[in-house]
Amino acid sequence: MIFGAILVAMLAILPRLGHHAPSPPSQQSPVREAAYSPAALAPLARPDLAKADSVVAFGLAQRGTPYAWAGTSPLTGFDCSGFIMYTFAHFGVPIPHSTSLLIDVGRPIARAEAQPGDIVVFTGTDKASTTPGHAGIVISRRGELPLRFVHASSSRREPFVKVSQVETTDYERRFMQVRRVLGPGTGMGATARAKTPAATPAATMRPPVPVVALPAHPVPLAGKSASVAPLPTVLAKRPVHRQAVARKPAAVHKVRATPKKVTKAPTPRKAAAKPAPRAVTKSSVKPRTASRKKAPVKRR
């Protein structure tokens, strides 16, 4: 009886477990509704924006890399155009390695509409320069001031990849243009896709043509080939004449004789010239007065 009661209860409960009344729209989960709303799907419809943020993050990761003329690698260094080419090439966007050609890539953009991933081009450092001489990658949001960019600087104080701004700096005077290379209308994506050849449809492929085998004509041999003597296993030694062997002369070490110091004999000093004796003349001789002595008087 107990077993029968349990069986009846199970038959009564099981059919009700498979049916659930649908909840009204007002009681649906707000998280699921927000996940499938058009506002949430908008960023997914613009993959170029996600790529622009990735380009900026990858470029900022190269900060501190030293400047090197014509450099295109973080191992050897960057110049301004080599840094831009390396950063965009990481995401499959071809950029020329020349600052003079960066003024023509993509499409021009107003300075107020610059956004992350755009390329900003400047003139050279010379005040009279009017041609492109420097470039960087914009990292500021649209309408954000000052306009900041990451670039490979060649300045003497900070010759490495760093972040600078346009306003209140010398880049304000050198500013030329902003170029957009990501997104529709730039032509850069089509150039990148042109590298991968398009797949040929199977309907246009021709079936392989069978190759007919050429007839082979057997050529009879004139006769049996003569037997060839086997090669000796030990080669005979060739006599060596003693006269033919030239002995190398012993190495002679040249001893450099130390040059003797030649001592110069002291030059004899000239004897001091003695004054010549004066010529004696009669006029120069004073007459001497002869002193006559009086003869003693003899007394007788």
Distance, CA of 184 to CA of 205 (rounded, Å): 33
Distance, CA of 140 to CA of 138 (rounded, Å): 6
Q: List Cβ<8 Å contacts ≥24 apart for 216-223.
A: none
Q: Which CATH number belongs to the domain containing residue 110 in this structure? A: 3.90.1720.10
Asked if residue 204 has pLDDT above 50, the reply is no
DSSP state, residue 66: B
Distance, CA of 160 to CA of 68 (rounded, Å): 9
Mean pLDDT for the stretch of residues 27-41: 37
Residue 83 belongs to a domain:
yes
Of the chain, the percentage scoring pLDDT greater than 70 comes to 51
Residue 135 belongs to a domain:
yes
Residue 279 belongs to a domain:
no
Residue 138 belongs to a domain:
yes
Mean pLDDT for the stretch of residues 198-225: 58
Residues in the chain: 300
Mean pLDDT for the stretch of residues 119-144: 95
Q: What's residue 166's pLDDT?
A: 96
Total structural domains within the chain:
1
Residue 154 belongs to a domain:
yes
H/E run at residue 51: helix 47-60
- Using alpha carbons, select from 106, 96, 101, 121 the residue that is nearest to residue 52: 106
Q: What's residue 253's pLDDT?
A: 56
Residue 102 belongs to a domain:
yes
Q: What's residue 198's pLDDT?
A: 42
**Span 63-96, pLDDT tens digits:** 999 999 999 999 999 999 999 999 999 999 999 9
Residue 220 belongs to a domain:
no
Of the chain, the percentage scoring pLDDT greater than 90 comes to 44
User: What rounded mean pLDDT belongs to the chain?
Assistant: 74
Asked if residue 13 has pLDDT above 50, the reply is yes
Q: What's residue 28's pLDDT?
A: 41
CA distances from 171 to 4, 19, 85, 126, 128 (A): 92, 71, 21, 12, 14
DSSP state, residue 67: B
SS3 141: coil
pLDDT band at 103 (very low <50, low <70, confident <90, very high): very high
Mean pLDDT for the stretch of residues 192-210: 48
Q: What's residue 199's pLDDT?
A: 43
Q: What is the domain range of residue 162?
A: 45-193
Residue 38 belongs to a domain:
no
Pairwise pLDDT comparison (37 vs 219), residue with the higher score: 219
Asked if residue 29 has pLDDT above 50, the reply is no
Distance, CA of 266 to CA of 207 (rounded, Å): 112
